[in-house]
Amino acid sequence: MAQQLIQLDQEKLSCSICLDLLKDPVTIPCGHNYCRQIFTPKPHLVKNRMLADLVEDVKKAGLPAASHDHAYAGPGDVACDFCSVRKRKASKSCLVCMASYCEQHLQPHYNVAPIKKHKLIKATSKLQENICPRHDEVMKIFCRTDQQCICYLCLMDEHKDHVTVSAAAERAARQKGLGRNRQKFLQRVQDREKDVKMLHERVEAINLSADKALMQTEKMFKDLISLIQKKSSEVKQKIRSKQTFEQNRVKELQEKIEQEIRDLRRRNTELQQLSLTEDHLHFLKNYSSLSHLSASTNVPTYNNLTLQYFEDVTASVSRTRNKVKTLVTPYAQVSVYIKETKAAFIW
């Protein structure tokens, strides 16, 4: 009786409203069957005893009452290959039958002796991959020569002289090595994780060292800039001091010469007046003193020492600048190298 009930289409015993297996089924005047519910206005309901008895038999047979959320296949679900009207969600796939079954249509695989030994797996939509595209037969044989799955017709044809075993035997053989391979993968993962950790630590060390170097070099350059500014101020002061000293010396010499010019002009005027006198004694008495020309103030035509001083200062500063540029250039290259290295190790 149970096997006969299994063949019943559970959809015919489901409520058209809640889609669950009928509970306390009743028939409304139009002939449709529903679970007992409250209707407005309330129709005259008559208990459907035949359906109620069938539902009880289905429950005794162990068929699960599928919920509305999980009974029927939706997008992305594997549908039952044996549901005729509305496809239910498949729960298992049979590798022998090459079909997928909902819980209702799966019952024979649990209860019928000839198919109890069939290999059931979680419902999958990839069963077609197990079918030989050439012969449309299940591929149950593995060709070790060509390293591929084949069907028994392939074995009789192009693979007849090849080394072949059952797919199950090949799986069992490879299953033994699977654990070792997984261990190798896990070991490789652990090794690479250690490498990643080491690289992260290296990045941290690089960052700390670079930050320290940047802080120290920045302080050093500030000190160097301060020193250069100080020396620049000292050089400017010396140049201005030398400039003022030489200006005063030239000015003093200029004043002496200008005074000498005034004296010469005055004496020239006196000589002119003396030349006009008619008093011979007065002329002879004053001629000697007025005609005597005193030594002129020595004026250098070109102050080479002063100009050489300024040129020497300029040359000295130029040499200092070149030395600083020579010293600073490697540090600039180091700064670029540090930045590039930090960027290369950022993950």
What percent of the chain shows pLDDT beyond 70?
Answer: 74
Using the CB atoms, write b or e for 181-191: b if 16+ within 10 Å: eeeeeeeeeee
Q: Are 100 and 90 within 8 A, CB to CB?
A: yes
Q: CB within 8 A of 22, min separation 6: which ones?
A: 13, 14, 15, 33, 34, 35, 51, 52, 55
d(CA 220, CA 172): 72
3-class DSSP assignment, residue 89: strand
Q: Which residue has the tokens 């209707």?
A: 39
The token pair at 249 is 């010396």
Q: CB within 8 A of 2, min separation 6: which ones?
A: 60, 61, 62, 111
- Interval 213-251: pLDDT, tens: 889 988 988 998 899 899 999 999 999 998 898 889 889
pLDDT of residue 31: 58
Q: CB within 8 A of 306, min separation 6: which ones?
A: 242, 246
pTM value?
0.41
pLDDT of residue 127: 82
Question: Phi and psi dihedrals of 123, rounded to 5?
Answer: -50, 130
Q: Could you say which residues of the chain have pLDDT below 70?
A: 1-23, 26-47, 49-50, 58-70, 297, 299-304, 330-347
The token pair at 133 is 């595209």
d(CA 18, CA 21): 9
